[in-house]
Chain A
Amino acid sequence: MSNKDKTHFDKVFEEELLPHADALKTFAYHLTYSDEDANDLVQDTYFKAYRFIDKYEEGTNPKAWLFKILKNGYINEYRKKVKRPIKVDFEEIVAYHDSDDDRITGYNDLREDIFQYMMGDEVTIAINALPLDFRTVILLCDIEGFTYEEIAKIIDVPIGTVRSRLFRARNLLKEKLKNYADSLGYKDFRGELRVRNAENRAEEE
């Protein structure tokens, strides 16, 4: 790399890539569950980004490019390094088998006022409890605001898979938040209220 190139690339790196460090850290933290490991992952991501900066097309989508590098780094290197066994659970298996299935059945309903009972930590706990593939799409779409197309490129799957994975992830997340609210003593009385109202109407008639 010539001095002129280096000066140019340093400028691109600082102006276009470094501003996404906080977003990358949030993503890394929810993948690794550790502040220290998240810092290592973000640092490695930036070192790799700089090494391959000539491949980056200026003014395109630096955030998506960095997220793809981070996600690949996490899958290919980080999980091997920490020798963390890959946890496969039922939802993850379903996600793979039904990954292109657009036939959507069932939809979890989470009552709005349930959020009055939540302080905030439970969101992080619920997201972190999701299987990796589901956690990833929720973080990319609902937290970082990437489009389906961008997510498809970041995680290397078809757009249909992104959509169906998001649907299942949101359902599972709502279920976890509802379980949390239940554990706090919140009960969903909608069914009981409907029965009670019907009984009241019957008595009045």
Chain B
Amino acid sequence: MKNEDHLQEIRRQVDMFFDHALSLDDERSLLERVQQDPTYQRVFSHEKTMRDHLRNHVHRPGVSPDFIQSIKDHIRMG
């Protein structure tokens, strides 16, 4: 496998790991490789940082208790 193809395959597996799309066996095998192989480690760490940053920094406006109450009131009246 060419270097670029190999790297792409690692990235595909890492993506699937974070998307919870791997089987338990495949997850375990990937984590073992991450421990042993610096390329796997780099791609894994890179993707984790990216995902954590997205999840932690995306704007989440949320709803107010009044908003929830108004929905409940509407339902009860209906």
Contacts and interface: CB of A to CB of B under 8 A. Distances in A.
B33 interface: no
Q: For this complex, into which size category does the number of interface residues on chain B fall? A: 20 to 34
A124 B46 contact: no
B61 to A, nearest CB: 5
A112 B45 contact: yes
Contact of A115 (B7, B12, B49, B61): B49
- Interface size range of chain A in the complex: 35 or more
Contacts of A50: 75, 78
11 contacts: A18-B72, A22-B62, A25-B63, A39-B63, A43-B67, A107-B11, A112-B50, A120-B57, A142-B54, A166-B19, A170-B15
Contact of A124 (B15, B59, B75): B59
B2 interface: no
Interface in A136-167: 138, 141-143, 145, 147-148, 166-167
Given A39-B63, A47-B74, A124-B57, 16 more contacts: A10-B75, A14-B72, A18-B71, A21-B68, A22-B62, A25-B61, A39-B67, A42-B63, A42-B67, A107-B8, A115-B50, A115-B53, A141-B19, A142-B51, A143-B55, A174-B50
